[in-house]
Amino acid sequence: MGLKVVQINLQHSQCATDNLTVLLAEEDVDIALIQEPWVRSTEDVTAVEVEATDGVTIALASINMAHERPTPPEEARKLVQENPNKTLLLGSDANARHAPWGSPETNDRVNYHENLNNSKGTIFAPCLNNVDEKGIIENMSAQSVTDVYKFSKLENCVSQYTGTVLLTFNLFKLPEKVEVSWHIAKVKPYYPNPMRCKTCQLLGHTAKRCNNAPCQSCNFPPHPPPCSRIYCANCAGDHPSSSKSCPKYMQSKEILKIKCQNKCSMCEALKLYKEQTPTTLSASFAAVVSESQNLSKIEQSKTKPPATLAPSPSCKSPSTASLNAHSDTLIQPNSTSSNTTT
């Protein structure tokens, strides 16, 4: 069953009602859930039950949550409690207010999402190398720091901290600077790198979830080393799959950047990336292989010497003297016949 449903607060406006009437006709809308209609009404909840031709029953409700009344309305609470096994579709104007939406006030009807509204940034603070993560969180909790990760690298087979620290803030907007050990540290936005499997070299997963084991250089089935071929498993280019200049890697990096900047999911970030980036047709694997084979044939034809045609046994090759005589005839047309015969 497919239903087209819209929800709108008309704010008791006749003009908004007229616009809604036009919208319902142009968009072929089935049901409109309206709050504060043009005709005054004191009801906060209006519910209907719809039964489709395939037998599916859906309960729809239009709910208005006024500022001065507790939320949710008692009628809405009863509607949910009395229909535990029915499909409910609720359209509501909750009158929620919050600063990121441009509202001058913030009320208790809206809260930040637990995961999507965190922000991450890096600072350079070598003074924190000898301080454990728990101690850093305790001392920086007043600056909304909720998690800490210290980057490290191997030097002479020994792991050592680099001084770069990743901070997670319980803030919608990343702060520009923080106080660390009586000095100010600049906070830089953090964008994670795309996941790349160390087994099959493909982007998007790690080795823990991979059962393939091709050659890390050419990505063909395992073969005895050394391998002189270089082939990217992600874009079919002539560079290693770990290259930071790989077009597919750079594309994944940009999508992750959009995800962090817009506080959205990967699907939404991919959609935004496609809207911002002009579409280009990428060659398939079969097309790349076919083109490679054609180029190989062309190179072989250039390096192979031309084939010589052997004379037929029934044909007699002309003698050198006759060729010279024919040449003299062309050069000296006034010569006598005795000079041109042998």
Lowest mean pLDDT among 72-81, 184-193, 233-242, 277-286: 277-286
Burial of 201 from C-beta contacts in 10 A (0-12 / 13-18 / 19+): buried
* pLDDT tens string 95-151: 888 776 778 887 888 776 776 778 999 999 999 999 999 999 999 999 999 999 999
Q: How many CB atoms lie within 10 A of CB 281?
A: 5
Left (φ > 0), alpha (ψ -120 to 50) or beta: where does 36 sit?
Answer: left
Q: Average pLDDT for residues 67-84, to the nearest whole number?
A: 81
Q: Which helix (H) or strand (E) holds 24?
A: helix 14-26
DSSP 183-252: EEEE-EE--PPPPB-TTT--BTS-GGG------TTT-SSP-SSP------TTT--SS-TT-TT-HHHHHH
pLDDT score, position 258: 92
Q: Tens digits of per-residue pLDDT, 5-59?
A: 888 888 888 888 888 888 888 888 888 888 888 766 556 788 878 777 777 788 8
| Complete domains list, the chain, with CATH | 5-101 (3.60.10.10), 119-189 (3.30.70.330), 207-276 (no CATH)
H-helix or E-strand spanning residue 81: helix 74-82
Which residue, 281, 292, 300, 202, is CA-closest to 238? 292
Query: Does residue 168 have a pLDDT over 80?
Result: yes
From 290, 282, 257, 258, select the one nearest 271 (Cα to Cα): 258
Per-residue pLDDT band for 305 (boundaries 50, 70, 90) equals low
Mean per-residue pLDDT for 283-299? 59
Q: What is the pLDDT of residue 257?
A: 92
Residue 324 sits at φ, ψ, to 5 deg, of -65, -40
Q: How close are the terminal C-alpha atoms of the chain, in Å?
A: 103
Statement: residue 326 has pLDDT above 60: no
Residue 24: the pLDDT is 86
327 — pLDDT class (breaks 50, 70, 90)? very low
* Residue 250 predicted with pLDDT over 90: yes
Q: What is the pLDDT of residue 76?
A: 83
Q: Which of 31-40, 165-174, 192-201 has the highest average model confidence (pLDDT)?
A: 165-174
Residue 194 or residue 214, greater confidence: 194
Q: What are the tokens at 48?
A: 């209907």
For 279-308, give the DSSP string. Answer: --PPPPHHHHHHHHHHHHHHHHHHHSPPPP
pLDDT band at 215 (very low <50, low <70, confident <90, very high): confident
Cα 73 from Cα 227, distance rounded (Å): 70
